[in-house]
Amino acid sequence: MLSPHEIAELPEAIQEIWNDFEEEILVDIAQRIIHNDEVTATAQWRYAKLKELGLQDSYIFEKLVHYANKSEKELKKLFRDTIAESLEKDNEYYAEALKQEKKKLDFQSFNEIANQGYKFTNNKIQNFTNSYAYDAKEALGKALDRIYFEVDTGVKSLDEAQKDAIDDLAKKGIGAFIVSPSGRNEQVSVVVSRAVRTGLNKTASDCQLQLAAELGCDLVEVTSHQGARPSHDLWQGKVYSISGTHSKYPSLHAATRYGYGDGLCGWNCRHSFFPFFEDISEPNERTFTKSENLAVYEYRQKKKAIENEIRKNMLSMKIKKAAGMDYSDNKKKLKSIRKSIKELGEKAKELKSENYDHFYLNIQFFGTKKIKPNKNQTMFELANNNFEHSISLGEMNDYGVIKNKLFTKEVIVTNERMLHILDHHPELEKITYNDIKNILDLPNAILKDKMNKKSFIFTKEIDKNHSLGLVVRILDNSSQFKYGKKNTVITCFKVETKRVKESDNLLIYVKK
């Protein structure tokens, strides 16, 4: 059986694969719009358009093959490992029941269920992404047509028409130029994530039905978690009959709509169920009220809305940047979103519950997967992505007092700290990950921190008159921090180099 937390988190890696695919396609469309930098006679325009579409076609096909291969491998591994691990736990948990029934689990039948689930989910992803690739080509064609019409009729200049087309692309993706048959234009990664989560949970639940059949058990108990959507809260945490013929317990299918998209184990559902033995099993007692469940549900909806806003703005920013356009409006939006994040953080503290094992207070609002930072990413880009990365301190031989205190050379850098730095020192938004790494690797000087005896300030000259100061809290043998046994970056600031050199009483290391 999969836990609600596992069901929520497992699709992350595949979601990121298709997130990257969509980003590359939209950036490519923006660059091709800008590339068409003159509107000529109709025949020449059509020729230029067809040439651009032909080049784009090859590019999209190449990207689609690349990302589909990555996705397929990851999906196969996910289904195989997750279902195998779940069955291993079930086999151990129901060992006594299997012994009484004089049975062993038929792993072959479970493997067949897992394989069918993988194929169904992979086909669903392929159908959608193939359709998206076709729509992307059509979107470029319609964008170029719109630009031509607006310029040809004198409604807009070429620059204005291109800018407006890219603005629309940045806001709505390919939905700016075409409407999908469903009328919805969702992000590729969102659709894929939903397909994986639903497919995986449905496969795991089919395995539970098979397990119940092999145990000769007609009853199952549905899991319960705080934050369930209100319609699911009606049936979560209760016992049901698979056959629907039990005199005491209601039908699983009728009561929970198991097998339907809006029911148990349907679209984005994080519930599962497991065999329940009457007069032997003890039902898990519900430990939260309906109002407490609703409060967490509403909180999660707000959190999801903020995450989506951040994703949309980050993608919009990358599209505009690729086209050489101003994206300061996205920066302002992201800055205002950070205020909402702080307010939501306070709400999270109110909702903390000992009974809800998978409710995290250290919520990340910057996508799902922790990214590995690129050396050229700016502090602004790092702050608005979910990342956590270790940098190793440089050669420690000359660092004197730090070397003696040091428990480890690893320094943890997170987007949470980058957000803190940007809020207090917005002028540092263009400082890169590589700059931070260089400060830690080859500092010009290290000073004691007057504010905290466990912190030190690593400095690096960035021009003739200025240095960057990076405050690092050092983990010694007597300390234990939030990020485990690692040193942590606390903040960063710009300082006059002469002030560093004049701080004789605080200096503990100066580069020779």
Could you report the per-residue pLDDT of 216-239, keeping only the tens digit for each? 889 999 988 888 999 999 999 999
pLDDT at 63 over 80: yes
Q: Name the average pLDDT for the chain.
A: 79
- 433: its two tokens: 């990950």
Cα–chain center distance at 47: 41
Angle at 469 between CA 467 and CA 470, to 5 degrees: 145
Residue 229 gets the label, from left (phi > 0), alpha (psi -120 to 50) or beta, of beta
What pLDDT band is residue 407 in, cutting at 50, 70 and 90?
A: low
- Residues recorded for the chain: 512
pLDDT at 207 over 80: yes
- 254: its two tokens: 């009728």
Q: Residue 445 has what DSSP assignment? A: E
pLDDT at 246 over 90: yes
| The predicted structure's pLDDT at residue 296 | 85
Please tell me the least confidently modeled range out of 87-96, 167-176, 454-463.
87-96
Percentage of residues in the chain with pLDDT exceeding 90? 14
Mean pLDDT of 68-74: 90
pLDDT at 102 over 80: no
Please tell me the least confidently modeled range out of 85-94, 98-107, 426-435, 496-505.
98-107
Mean pLDDT of 484-508: 82
**Residue 204 CB: number of other CB atoms within 10 A?**
25
- 136: its two tokens: 């992307």
* Residue 15 or 376, more confident: 15
Please tell me the least confidently modeled range out of 3-12, 245-254, 476-485.
476-485
| The predicted structure's pLDDT at residue 411 | 83
| The predicted structure's pLDDT at residue 256 | 96
Round to the nearest angstrom and report the end-to-end CA distance of the chain: 60
Tell me the three state secondary structure of residue 303: helix
Look-up of token digits 């894929």? 192
| The predicted structure's pLDDT at residue 361 | 29
**Residue 171 CB: number of other CB atoms within 10 A?**
14
Q: Are 166 and 319 in contact (CB under 8 A)?
A: yes
In sequence order, the 6+-apart residues with CB closer than 8 A to the CB of 326 are: 320
pLDDT at 55 over 90: no
Q: How far apart are CA 208 and CA 87, in angstroms?
A: 9
Please tell me the least confidently modeled range out of 40-54, 188-202, 247-261.
40-54
| The predicted structure's pLDDT at residue 369 | 43
- List pLDDT tens digits, range 297-331: 888 888 888 878 888 888 898 899 888 888 888 88
